[in-house]
Amino acid sequence: MTQLIPLASFVFFYLNYDIIVATQSLALTTLVIYLAELYQGQQKKMTEHANTWFLILMCGLTLFKKDPVFLAWKATVMYCLIPIMVSGYRLYTKQSIIQKLVSNIPLHTHNYPWIKADITVSFLSSMLALTNITIYYQFGEDNWLKFKAFAFLFIFAMMVGLAYHLQQYIVEDNEHNPA
């Protein structure tokens, strides 16, 4: 739940000030929450550490550049990296990155077409990248920022849809380990 505080802070400061102040608040609240959780002794996975520092790095680049074009391209590049990571992980490990991400959930997946999930996520991310930069150049910064809000909702809906789809493959403990 604490992950929503930086996002809420960003939205508040963007609506009341501008994108630069909002980015400062996002970086600051993310860092404060991260340090508070470490101080409280909460154990974090390496990916959580990496995600936090990557977000702070991207905010720092935004604050350093202070260029709206950089903002639009940064998001576009991020969306383009997803298909590269998905396919690169598959080539390197011969396994789906999505399958790896949900590996702690008992799924009955011997017949699951993981490649379809990879292709779907890659395709939707590519479309977000194309749409992102097109909206920025065709409709301006204000409309692009509104699109970004809806893009986050779209990504959330995409993840909920994938989770709902994978739910049908969850194996109950008694089915997985027959007595």
pLDDT tens across the length of the chain (179 residues): 567 788 888 888 888 888 888 889 989 998 998 898 888 888 877 777 788 888 888 888 888 988 878 888 888 888 899 999 999 999 999 888 887 877 776 766 666 778 888 888 899 999 999 999 999 999 988 888 788 878 878 888 888 888 787 777 766 555 544 44
SS (H, E, C) the chain: CCCHHHHHHHHHHHHHCCHHHHHHHHHHHHHHHHHHHHHCCCCCCHHHHHHHHHHHHHHHHHHHHCCHHHHHHHHHHHHHHHHHHHHHHHHHHCCCHHHHHCCCCCECCCCCCHHHHHHHHHHHHHHHHHHHHHHHHHHHHHHHHHHHHHHHHHHHHHHHHHHHHHHCCECCHHHHCCC
The verdict on 81 and 162 lying in the same domain is yes
Q: In the listed set 25, 48, 66, which residue is the last one of a domain according to the structure?
A: 66
- Provide the whole-model pTM: 0.70
**Residue 179's pLDDT is what?**
46
What is the Rg, in whole angstroms, of the alpha carbon atoms belonging to the chain?
19
The domain of 7 spans 1-66
Among residues 36, 51, 66, the one where a domain terminates is 66
| Residues 113 and 54 grouped into a single domain | no
Q: What would the two tokens of residue 177 be?
A: 């380990």
Number of domains in the chain: 2
Same domain assignment for residues 103 and 161:
yes
Residues 6+ apart with CB under 8 A from 161: none
Residues 120/97, Cβ–Cβ less than 8 Å: no
| 146-177 pLDDT per residue, tens | 888 788 788 888 888 887 877 777 665 555 44
CA distance 96 to 115: 7
Answer yes or no: do 115 and 177 share one domain: yes
Domain C-terminal end among 66, 86, 110: 66
Bridge partners, residue 107, by sequence? 170
